[in-house]
Amino acid sequence: MHKHIERIILFAKACAHAGLIYLGMIWNASVKIYGQIVNTVKKYWPIFLHLTMQIWRVFVELCRRIAGWIKQNSITCSKTLWRSFIKFCRWIAIQINRFVQYCLIYNKIFWRACVYLFWWITGLAIRIAQSCLIISKLFWSTLVKFYIWIAIQIKRLALGCLAFSKILWHAFIKFCGWAVVQIKRFALGCLAFSKASWRIFVNLCLWIISQIIRFAQICLEIIQLLWRTFLKICMWIAVQVKRFAQGCLAFSKILWHTIVKLCEWITRQVIRFVQSCLIFIKAVWYAFSNLCLWIFRQIKHFVEGCLETIRSEWPPVKDRLYQYIQLTRLNKPIGIFLLLWPTLWALWIAAEGVPDLQILYVFISGVILMRSAGCVINDLADRNLDAHVARTQDRPIASGKVMPLEAIVIAAILIFSSFILVLNLNPLTLRLSVIAVVLAIIYPFMKRYTYLPQFFLGLAFGWAVPMAFAAETGSLPLIAWLLLFATVLWAVVYDTMYAMVDREDDIKAGIKSTAILFEDADRAIIGVIQLLVLLALILVGNRSGLGQFYFAGIAIAAVLSIYQQYLIKDRIPEHCFAAFLNSNWFGAIVFTGVFLHYHFN
């Protein structure tokens, strides 16, 4: 009885130590992310940082005194203080989350205002250009009409002159004909006269003919003068029309250059305004990042101090914690990644590239917790079988380093923590989470009754897909089930490769798997399933309207599938395990395609 009490105390200490290490891992990752961004903006907030530093020094001094007081008191007091510290960390995380959301909302509103302003200015410039084009068209149409009117008047004048010339010529011809008739009559009447009278008559006729010729010459000169005058008038009108057209063109050019310069000036002002806004947003973001980094560093120092205190007072905790990490497979995160990628696919597609931050946090944390819980349940179910397989005989429960009761408590804590996270989501997601827990519990026992345990693993891993759609959209569209189908097939592929590593040991121990079921046709069947996975992902892309980035990712994923086939061609266990690990890149490439599509569109 005394030994069990000691084990329980060590288990509680190890859980506390594990929580602190988990927080330390989170802060280290945050420091690496924000470290390179915030180093250049410290000069923007010196007064604020100084004030915050003074407040934090008071807080650190208070924490040091509390830590010293903890060393002198019992474990119960440290548990109370640890709970208070957890609540304080949660409060800080909530405040930071709210601040980030306010910053994101402010940035969206500010950016929309800039876009609307730019659209209004561009529309104004387009309207001015359209007005100028209308004015130019009006000038040009007026000029063309004026030129057509002048041409009509010139045509009418020419036709009038030709008609006048014809009338004058006909009159002259008639006059000549009349004169000849009169001369003929006069000649016939005067045949009886003498030669002297004939000479007079001839002279008279010659004089009349000369007068007629002079009259004709005068008429021709008048016609030539009229024609020359008409030509000069036409030339003058043509010169005036040409000058008017050149003036209109010069005015249009000046007006167009003015519009172009105005648009360039407006564009420069908009660019400057947007640049100023971006500089301001960057300054605010850098200052906030610097503040977060400083807070994370201080919390890290505090956690490290607490860890140092725990290490100095409880040396056995380190070894116990290592056994718990092995039990939950936190030292082998490949399973977390294989569960995480389909979840991220579903979140991004359901939210059209902008998932809710709270939902994203819940699902990432749930992936880590439920995968760890699944590993614990799997080791509990296989504790009598793992000892017969070379690769699993050193697992904590199989080797006796962790008691089954401890494993049950750890699994219950992990599942309960996941349930607490799901309470933040809608009722549909909460109902689906119950099915997820059932799948996680029954999967480890399927290898005793069926040769398709990989199918149940796919359901357990892929059930996060409909949960993600339910959390983001409140419904379960057809595309959610299509993506679940692709995820289940993908899990069958990589877990069959994983089962090919232990196929001989599994046959001896009586464990069933698809690797044993497929026998020598395993490579061909895996290839067919890989092809079905790619086709299902292509259908998902078509129904979701995903573009070239996504399908480029699918093409790269197809190349990775071919490479995995190459690795397992000789069924060497090490190569099969390498193909299993390579599946992580398959999921990452598909998610990268989804992310780039929504980021650039």
Q: What is the DSSP string of 178-212?
A: HHHHHHHHHHHHTTTS-HHHHHHHHHHHHHHHHHH
* Token couple for 582: 């390579």
Q: What is the pLDDT of residues 313-339, one digit of tens each?
A: 555 666 777 788 888 888 888 889 999
* Token couple for 335: 């399973």
176 with 208: CB under 8 angstroms?
no
* Token couple for 481: 């089930």
328 by Cβ neighbours in 10 Å (0-12 / 13-18 / 19+) ranks as buried
348 with 541: CB under 8 angstroms?
no
Give the DSSP H/E element, type plus range, for residue 562.
helix 548-567
Q: What is the mean pLDDT of the chain?
A: 77
DSSP one-letter string for 288-314: HHHHHHHHHHHHHHHHHHHHHHHHHH-
* Token couple for 512: 């069933």
Contacts (Cβ under 8 Å, ≥6 apart) of 525: 518
Residue 197: predicted pLDDT:
60
pLDDT at 557 over 90: yes
- Closest by CA position to 234, among listed 163, 141, 152: 152
Other CB atoms within a 10 A radius of the CB of residue 513 amount to 23
419 with 402: CB under 8 angstroms?
no
Better-predicted residue by pLDDT, 146 or 223: 223
Rounded to whole angstroms, the Cα distance separating 512 from 533 reads 24
pTM of this prediction? 0.50
Rounded to whole angstroms, the Cα distance separating 55 from 365 reads 32
Poorest-pLDDT segment among 143-157, 371-385, 431-445, 540-554: 143-157
pLDDT at 284 over 70: no
pLDDT at 242 over 70: yes
* Token couple for 55: 């407040």
- Closest by CA position to 492, among listed 503, 502, 504, 500: 500
Better-predicted residue by pLDDT, 70 or 492: 492
Question: Which residue shows structure tokens 């008047």?
Answer: 153
pLDDT at 518 over 60: yes
pLDDT at 75 over 50: no
% the chain with pLDDT above 90 = 24
Band the pLDDT of 353: cuts 50, 70, 90.
confident
Averaged over 541-567, what is the pLDDT? 93
Angle at the Cα of 8 (from 7 to 13), degrees rounded to 5? 95
Instruction: Tell me the range of 38-42, 205-209, 356-360 where mean pLDDT is highest.
Output: 356-360
- SS3 of residue 363 by DSSP: helix
Rounded to whole angstroms, the Cα distance separating 74 from 68 reads 12
Q: What is the pLDDT of residues 87-142, one digit of tens each?
A: 665 676 576 566 556 555 655 665 565 556 556 655 665 665 566 557 556 656 66
Better-predicted residue by pLDDT, 4 or 363: 363
Rounded to whole angstroms, the Cα distance separating 560 from 568 reads 13
pLDDT at 505 over 60: yes
Rounded to whole angstroms, the Cα distance separating 43 from 50 reads 11
CA 20 vs CA 96, 117, 302, 320, 461: distances in Å = 20, 50, 10, 14, 28
Contacts (Cβ under 8 Å, ≥6 apart) of 510: 385
Residue 149: predicted pLDDT:
78
Where residue 400 falls (left for φ over 0; alpha for ψ -120 to 50; beta otherwise) is left
- Closest by CA position to 495, among listed 436, 445, 534, 453: 453
Band the pLDDT of 186: cuts 50, 70, 90.
low
* Token couple for 533: 């996975």
DSSP one-letter string for 242-277: HHHHHHHHHHHHHHHHHHHHHHHHHHHHHHHHHHHH
Better-predicted residue by pLDDT, 596 or 36: 596
pLDDT at 276 over 80: no
Residue 237 CA to its chain's centroid (Å): 64
Contacts of 552-558 with C-beta under 8 Å, sequence gap 24+, read 552/593, 553/589, 553/590, 553/591, 553/592, 553/593, 553/594, 553/596, 554/590, 554/593, 556/589, 557/586, 557/589, 557/590, 558/534
Which residues in 110-185 belong to E strands, given as ranges?
none
Band the pLDDT of 74: cuts 50, 70, 90.
very low
Residue 264: predicted pLDDT:
81
Residue 321: predicted pLDDT:
78
Where residue 42 falls (left for φ over 0; alpha for ψ -120 to 50; beta otherwise) is alpha
- Closest by CA position to 230, among listed 326, 154, 126, 307: 154
Residue 194: predicted pLDDT:
53
Averaged over 50-65, what is the pLDDT? 61
Rounded to whole angstroms, the Cα distance separating 159 from 167 reads 12
Rounded to whole angstroms, the Cα distance separating 506 from 250 reads 92
Residue 41: predicted pLDDT:
46
Averaged over 392-398, what is the pLDDT? 75
* Token couple for 280: 């301001």
Residue 589: predicted pLDDT:
94
Rounded to whole angstroms, the Cα distance separating 1 from 14 reads 20
Rounded to whole angstroms, the Cα distance separating 194 from 202 reads 12
Return the sign of the alpha-carbon dihedral for residues 226, 228, 230, 232. Answer: negative
Which residues in 458-596 belong to E strands, given as ranges?
none
- SS3 of residue 385 by DSSP: coil
Rounded to whole angstroms, the Cα distance separating 415 from 461 reads 15
Residue 45: predicted pLDDT:
52
Better-predicted residue by pLDDT, 539 or 54: 539
Averaged over 258-263, what is the pLDDT? 78
Residue 384: predicted pLDDT:
75
- Closest by CA position to 125, among listed 274, 277, 269: 269
- SS3 of residue 475 by DSSP: coil
Q: What is the pLDDT of residues 148-167, one digit of tens each?
A: 776 677 678 767 766 766 77
Other CB atoms within a 10 A radius of the CB of residue 267 amount to 14
Residue 77: predicted pLDDT:
45
